[in-house]
A and B are shown apart, each in its own frame.
Chain A
């Protein structure tokens, strides 16, 4: 299986382990990820904060390059890049004048028929029945699935999972033997792009998220976005310094958790690159009360 692949700038630097674990898992599943040739930065938070046209043109160039390379679908592991590409594609589809403007700016043709695949969708296929992969070492821990704000919002554009209390990551974690906890901060923002310019605010927001997960018995936080990982892992000392709260909860990329379950080594998955050591308690914590299923039908409630 061959798919197009947009790494995004952070995977080349501070989110190196996401790239490593992604490629390792893809390799195990027999998926070849082909980078979009000559890909540029999507513009992330900075572009849309200062210039709307730039914020659409940069992703526009990426999508046009993917089309030029004949790619039908492109895997986008970074949630922020995924969000920017999906929003740009949506706006280009809706506004013909904008489309012409962007085509002139990127000096390429643009049709808008590339399908964007986020990390959760890709892993659902990797762990799906057709892939035939076996879970060799179940990731038997209680985990807090942290989706971050950009994977499921805006709901009318991304149309991916429920915007409140999403379940896609939880299901994937269950498939590899983990026990996802029910917790209310799955999509509460970690502080996003203010990591450097307002570290104090990031500390506040990320601290709340960590506290909420730890309180409900999580042994690890699973993330799917490099920015979230940076705020929750790299900034851990800043959190301690600025809020006085100390957390030892490890933050693991979803691809790393899946990779471990599929039998790949910690080294291959880049677990040693985290700032917060990835260790799990010797004794598994007692299980939290059983989580109710997402939807309850009235007939099911009738008991004998």
Chain B
């Protein structure tokens, strides 16, 4: 039977815990694994790893565990409801750490396959904002369905109901400063590709 060694042979300070500290100021050593976050998280029962376990994977400075965290469903199911931070006795900013892990997971292309729909939704949302300066709901749905063809028939019955109640705006709002907004997106992409 294979025994997994827990001793990291990677030199100190090259792992995710350091990048995390630099990017967010959060130190994973503060967490003493009490589990209060997992206990109060609305979706911890649905996740492959409860939130406190994700943090544990960052505490041992092991690349294998870090990849497990980055490839988990957890980070994409996280609702950013901030319940964990509100209750954490050590004031560990877990929502911030989740944001970091999501960004890192996309950068490395390691997102969990089941999170495709969620990521597509975020991308479709941001595409709309980049183009018009605001969210164009119909455009968002169309973009999302294009990325996720299996959801083509999702909510189709709802659309006419919303339209009849005047809640579906068919024309996008193009703000005067949309090119300025597009520039923000472009410059952010440039900055991030340099990392």
User: A interface vs B, CB < 8 Å?
Assistant: 9-10, 12-17, 38-41, 43-55, 57-58, 61, 101, 104-107, 149-150, 153-155, 163-164, 187-189, 191-194, 196-199, 201, 205, 234, 237, 272-275
Contact = CB atoms under 8 A, between A and B. Distances in A.
A44 B137 CA distance: 13
Contacts of B155: 196
A234 B162 contact: yes
Given A10-B135, A16-B167, 18 more contacts: A10-B137, A13-B137, A14-B137, A14-B167, A46-B123, A48-B80, A52-B100, A61-B181, A104-B187, A150-B81, A154-B95, A187-B83, A191-B79, A196-B141, A196-B144, A196-B154, A198-B77, A272-B165
Output the residue of B81, B120, B176, B192 with the most chain A CB within 10 A.
B81
Contacts of A13: 135, 137, 167-169
Given A38-B176, A154-B85, A273-B166, A46 B125 contact: yes
Contacts of A107: 180, 183
A193 B184 contact: no
A105 B187 contact: yes
Interface string B47-84: 00000000000000000000000000000010111110
26 contacts: A9-B135, A10-B137, A12-B169, A14-B167, A15-B167, A39-B175, A40-B175, A46-B121, A46-B129, A49-B99, A50-B103, A50-B106, A61-B180, A104-B187, A106-B180, A107-B183, A149-B82, A153-B85, A153-B86, A155-B86, A188-B42, A189-B79, A189-B81, A196-B141, A196-B155, A275-B161
Contact of B80 (A38, A43, A192, A196): A192
A40 B79 contact: no
A54 B191 CA distance: 11
Nearest to B75: A49
A40 B177 contact: yes
Interface residues of B, number: 58
A102 to B, nearest CB: 9
Nearest to B128: A41
A65 to B, nearest CB: 8
Contacts of A150: 81-82
Contact of A38 (B99, B123, B177): B177
Contacts of B7: none
Contact of A61 (B77, B82, B122, B184): B184
B2 interface: no
User: At the interface, is chain A mostly helix, strand, loop or mixed?
Assistant: helix
Output the residue of A12, A189, A196, A198 with the most chain B CB within 10 A.
A196
A294 B173 CA distance: 45
A186 to B, nearest CB: 12
Contact of A47 (B42, B126, B167): B126
B42 A40 contact: no
Interface in B108-150: 117-123, 125-126, 129, 133-135, 137, 141, 144
Contacts of A205: 42-43
A248 to B, nearest CB: 17
Nearest to B158: A234
Contacts of B161: 275
A15 B169 CA distance: 11
A217 to B, nearest CB: 24
A41 B86 CA distance: 27
Given A150-B82, A193-B79, A52 B103 contact: yes
